Amino acid sequence: MIEISLESRVENDTLIIRVVLPEEKLPQYEYAYYFIKDGERMLTKWYSANYEERFVLEEPGAYYVTCFARNIENKNDMASKYTRLYTYPWGEENEKAVFEEKSLSESQFSICSRIEGGILECDVHPSDNKFKDIEFAFYLMNRFEKKETVSYSPYNRACFPLTADGIYSVKCFIRRGQELMVKMSRFHGYRAENTFGLETNICEPFGGGNYSIFLLRIPIQISAWS
């Protein structure tokens, strides 16, 4: 699997992103971008040969960009990377206007997950997008067994390529200082040529290492295996 890094800078209210790879490898990959404002995806630029992109910042907010790199010849050779978080307009006073301190509670965060092109994407959305110093970590679960881990970072999104059949979900950890909260995504059935959905609500409270899971609602739609 390829590993990429990103260079990002702001010029004249434009956020400029460039993928960093050895020069000989850049033409071997195609690149896609998510432009995120206050935790919400505002713009998607689908895969192309463009390893540098520009995004115009027009409204106050907290911005970052997620970049995906995919090998043209081998679609399983892919990676994603996030830029740092940019607060616009710039400066400490404006940053205070964008974020405000408040205690964490489960009702203030929601989980959105989906499978696209063999990748399970999971986003954590604050209810009002005004939290500061929040970190997120993610576990990819297959039938409640941990398969992959994304360590704590300021970024509220994780993308997991799926390489085997299973019933997948994502466990999301939301942390600020000594505060910690755990939430689960819904279930996703996955098979190479087909998918099926298990729609559930799962409540998994965090209590000093003791976990309990409650399945509250399970309408099921299953398509025929191919």
Residue span of the structural domain in which 127 resides: 106-221
CATH value at residue 57 = 2.60.40.10
What pLDDT score does 216 carry?
35
**pLDDT reported for residue 220:** 35
Residue with tokens 């063999």: 118
Mean pLDDT, each 10-residue run in order, the chain (226 residues): 86 91 94 86 92 92 87 88 77 44 67 90 76 83 89 87 91 84 88 52 32 35 36
Looking at residue 191, its pLDDT comes to 85
pLDDT of residue 91: 52
- Are residues 126 and 204 both part of a single domain? yes
Instruction: Say whether both 162 and 212 belong to one domain.
Output: yes
- 202 contacts: CB under 8 Å, gap ≥ 6: 169, 184, 186, 213, 214, 215, 216
Residue 97: what pLDDT? 41
Looking at the structure, tell me whether residues 57 and 117 fall in a common domain.
no
Both 24 and 113 in a single domain?
Answer: no
Domains contained in the chain, number: 2
Instruction: Collapse the DSSP code of 98 into the 3-class scheme (helix H, G, I; strand E, B; otherwise coil) and give the result.
Output: helix
Which of 35, 69, 98 finishes a domain? 98
pLDDT of the residue at 103: 60
Q: What is the pLDDT of residue 106?
A: 67
| Model confidence, pTM | 0.46
